[in-house]
Amino acid sequence: MPSVTSSDGPVAVTGASGYVGAHVVTALMKRGYEIRACITDTSNPDKTGFLAALNEVHPGNLSLHQANLLDEGSYDSAFTDCSAVLHVGTAMGYGGANNPQQVYDGAVNGTNNVLNSIKRAGTVRRLVYTSSFAAIGHPAPPGHVYTEKDWASDNRENDPDWTTDNLLDKGETGYAMAKVECEHLVNRVAEEDGSFDAISVCPIVVLGPLLSPIHELVFSWQWAMGRMLAGKPCNRGWQALWNCVDVRDVGESQALMIESDACRNGSRYQLSATDESGELTVKQLQEHLQSLFPHIDVGGPPEEYNAMIEKHGRPYDAPRAHCDKVREDLGLETHSIEDTLRATGETMIEFGLITPKLK
């Protein structure tokens, strides 16, 4: 299908008030798009205020639309006459908001609802589906460099957990399986329908500026980094690498995906570290933060870290993944890891989400 520009009609964004969704909206606003921002509760000022304020600073035009991912037909009105849909919203498990079965069911059923509304609209030419690196990462030797050719379902022949049975007992497996299934689903439906292309974007450790206090979700990567700035030990990802991508780059890449003639149905883009500078052990992360915030006593790895180093010599050398394809195909210019970490910390402090531990 042909690419989309701001003159081709409105575009819709699901999950528009979320961390990634809000940056997708911002990237489109800067380009002058008419955006239909879909959120679950338009009466919540924490979700609507910062989005509505974008109309005052960017050339685009944003309107708010209430829609629930789990309600069939909920997006019909918002998608009417749209040239593109950027499907960012999904059920997440942060802070126990949804259990693993609900995460799986919400993603698959919700994506089916989005696809049905797209088909009823009849005007959509591009669908960008926000998947995850969870749909890419699979069992592999340390140091393996993942690309878009990898799928989380690879090398699972003898993995008893890679099944939708008893998802309540399998933690994040349901999320990964849902993302794999949804990517295949959007590609298949788009091919069968023939009127739109589906493109997937797979972010990994997303950091960068928060646009609202609601973007600090318990146990998210930004929440874990915020704990370090509060002088507490890092309690997420310390056993391996933080492979970091800037949330602004994730948003910008999706705007490029609807506008680029390089994209086709089934195109897939990994949004991960630019290079090894963005693949950090928790000790390297602490060192970066200490350099960027010299007045703060930054927390480091937990007590268990030393025992792990004594036993294995280093953290697990994974995940290794670089966003080469999106840079080469779409010309995405990425932020430096220093810029990403600085912006994350500064906005968390500005919103009062953390109280830094000063030296």
Task: Give the residues across from 129 on adjacent strands.
Answer: 87, 200
- As a whole number, mean pLDDT of residues 311-337 equals 97
Phi (first) and psi of residue 303, to 5 degrees: -60, -30
Mean confidence (pLDDT) of the chain: 95
Q: Where are the domains of the chain?
A: 8-210+244-276+320-336
pTM, two decimals, is 0.96
- As a whole number, mean pLDDT of residues 333-346 equals 98
- As a whole number, mean pLDDT of residues 320-349 equals 98
Q: Work out the percent of the chain whose per-residue pLDDT is above 90.
A: 89
Per-residue pLDDT, 95: 58
What gap in Å lies between CA 200 and CA 206, rounded to an integer? 16
Confidence class for position 165, pLDDT limits 50, 70, 90: confident
- Residue 28 backbone class (left: φ over 0; alpha: ψ -120 to 50; beta: rest): alpha
Q: What 8-state DSSP symbol labels residue 352?
A: T
**The pair of three-digit structure tokens given for residue 121, joined into one six-digit string:** 């609209």
Q: What residues have CB less than 8 Å from 284, skipping those under 6 apart?
A: none
Residue 331, pLDDT above cutoff 80:
yes
Per-residue pLDDT, 96: 62
pLDDT tens digit string along 270-291? 999 999 999 999 999 999 999 9
Which tops the pLDDT comparison, 335 or 218?
Answer: 335
- As a whole number, mean pLDDT of residues 29-44 equals 96
Per-residue pLDDT, 1: 79
End-to-end CA distance of the chain: 56
Let me know: does 355 contact 294? Beta carbons within 8 Å. Answer: no
Rounded to the nearest 5 percent, the helix, strand and coil shares of the chain are 40, 15, 45
> H or E stretch including 129?
strand 126-130
Per-residue pLDDT, 94: 59
pLDDT tens digit string along 168-218? 877 788 899 999 999 999 999 999 999 999 999 999 999 999 999 999 988
3-state SS, one letter per residue, for 214-225: HHCCCCCHHHHH
- Burial class from Cβ neighbours inside 10 Å (0-12, 13-18, 19+) for residue 123 reads middle
What gap in Å lies between CA 47 and CA 58, rounded to an integer? 18
Per-residue pLDDT, 166: 79
Return the CATH number of the domain spanning residue range 8-210+244-276+320-336. 3.40.50.720
Residue 159, pLDDT above cutoff 70:
yes
